[in-house]
Structure 1
Amino acid sequence: MKRKLLSRTVWVLSLVSLFADVASEMLYPVLPIYLRHIGFSMLLIGVLEGVAQGTAGLSKGYFGRLSDQTGLRLPFIRWGYLLAALSKPLLAVSIVPLWVFGARTLDRFGKGLRTGARDTMLSEEATPQTKGRVFGFHRGMDTLGACIGPGIALVYLYLYPGHYRPLFYFAFLPGLAAVALLYLLREKRKPVLATVRESRYNFFAFLRYWKESPSGYRRLLTGLLLFALFNSSDFFLLLRMKEVGLDDTHLIGLYILYNLVYALSSYPMGMLADKWGLKRVYLSGLGLFVLVYFGMAAGLERWVYLPLIFIYGLYAAATEGISKAWITNICASENTATAIGTYTAFESIAALVASALAGLLWQLYGAAVTFLVSGTVALAVIVYLAITSSAPVQKSA
């Protein structure tokens, strides 16, 4: 019997991501401006994002492996989205740095809790030949929420300029809607893997997968993680555009454009990857990243940031979902959540360094050096992956 390309599970998980991203992205383009408004330095913003991403990383690895061990997906997904929803209003309760760190970290912990299990559910709904489209569709729906959220923020700030804090309370509602949608899904329980049951409560047990994994997985992750080590938070793109004279309205408008391009091109990029190869599309995406970051370093006229952000949306569509599809085609199916969790764990830890390093470079040497360093490393990663990595595809069961 022919499997439906976009199953009910794929649709529900995609709608969940849409609503969750409406909540998150109402705040994302506002958050760095809000943090500066309440007194955070550039370095402190970088450290905040680094700590939050590092927390997400460790939890992604642990909970991804635990999901494989128990054979359960939905409990991790539901709790992950719930914690993320609760973190939104908590960010507005106090401006004390420790409280802000805690609320932001809770959001990223929720992301870590759900990521491996959710991506495994998506992978289980696809064949190796359709994973580009399934992951691309999910990323497209996710990013459609990232268009709607900033749109709401844009209208609100147009009516109430400078009044940031109420947005954090409004963001709780779509986050709660995302959690509610998850109750439309049923668990497809699998047997517990007896070989790993003994390490269930070891928070760092997922690190063992690096040695257990196929060599192709390790080669691929080496390149992906080198890139992640110098790919800092998009906060710095927003702050760069703020530095060259764009106001809040233009910033949010460009952020909406980025997400719209990302949303509309994710599924076509997935189709292209299924046809031409995941590796080719991913490396092409990295090439677009290099172009954008070198452009950001140049400090060009303000109108140039419009095409740069358009290209940045294409880069994201060509890499975000594609990298996970590539990973799931390399690893064994029973280790999918562990493989994705391990990758996203190391990626988030690298992001901790990347954001803190970007903040430090910016503070010491300025924006141009910060973006030039990232673009140059991305070029090196393209060369490395082109030479060393292949994209083997598992045979269909």
Structure 2
Amino acid sequence: MRTYQSTTPFGPRPLSLAMVAARAVSEAGPKDALAEKWKVFDNLREAKTALGISDRALSVLNALLTFHQDTTLQLGSDLIVFPSNKALTFRANGMSPATLRRHLAALVQAGLVIRRDSPNGKRYARKGEGGSIEQAFGFDLSPLVARAAEFESLAEAARAERKARYLLREEITVLRRDIGKTIALALEEDVAGPWDDLLARFDALNETPPRNAETRALEAIATDLRALWADVEKALKIQLKTENMNANESHNERHYQNSKPNPFLDSEQSLRERLEETSAPDPETNKPPIRAFSLNLVLQACPDIAMYTKGGQGISTWRELIAAAGVVRGALGISPSAWEDACVVMGEEDAAIVMAAILQRSEMIVSAGGYLRNLTERAREGKFSVGPMVMALLRVAAADGRKSA
């Protein structure tokens, strides 16, 4: 006896074009088509965004699949599952009946299952002679088999998209690190070049993209950073080439060219010369050098550290700067041993200046503790002094002041 299969939902639920399309796809598929149900489910999890289904809807589909005993599904065979609401709720981890109905409707609307409702809306199976099922009313899983190739293609596209986003985020991170550290080096070492302009461009591109940023948005950010890195690398290579050409004249002399006036200094070149003269201990007495710049100049170069004083009342003495630097040390995650070592090698005041400088450019420094230890080792070898660092930050502050004016 031939039985008629229901094609419309029971009760007030209307028939939709999506339901008709899902039934048409299932009926048009080859009767011998096979699909591994859990592989199909894995592909659906990958392609859920493209299909417009939620994690909760997939949880309900997972529960429905557990009611079919076979792992391999075949079109033309019995693919209707008919669990009761109570059993389905239990396997859906206690989901409320209202939520369960909503996600079942979403699966039907997405064309992943077909409703085969009985005359009274109940889900059950009618058995014939020998106990075989003659007719079942419930949810038909045929679309999962008929559309298995489509789901696999969507999953591959989703994986490719996810990989592209990951690679772009990775490239953006590396580009930012390379650009930031290169500009910081150029400013610290007084390398000639358009570093203020390059730093301004870098600051404009230094916002972290949202976690859900699309590939197109990430590609635009990466493109801008690639162009900036090309300009940074070009500026550095030009200066290195210039220094190599002048190497015979002086191995230690640095060339600095900047036509922009510094509003903080009356004679920057004069102060630079004093800094170079007083940056190292006196070779005869081995006493600390006479400082060539005032506390006020340090605070102009590194204003952010003033926020780390008690009550935020500002800094008026070197002792207050040292105390604030100790607070910054903890905020930046620098170990006490690294801070103590810096104080011993550089002296407390210079170590505090270095800490203020690290805070001022912290967004460009990957590891503040590692950076401090590196500077400490350079200072121990007589290859580092705070003077050029203060000067570089003063130029940055001056450039920021001009931009905001």
TM-score of the aligned structures, taking structure 1 as reference length: 0.20
Which entry has the higher C-alpha Rg, 1 or 2? Answer: 2
Relative contact order (C-alpha < 8 Å, sep 6+): which is higher?
1
The structure in which a higher percent of residues are helix is: 1
TM-score by length of 2: 0.20
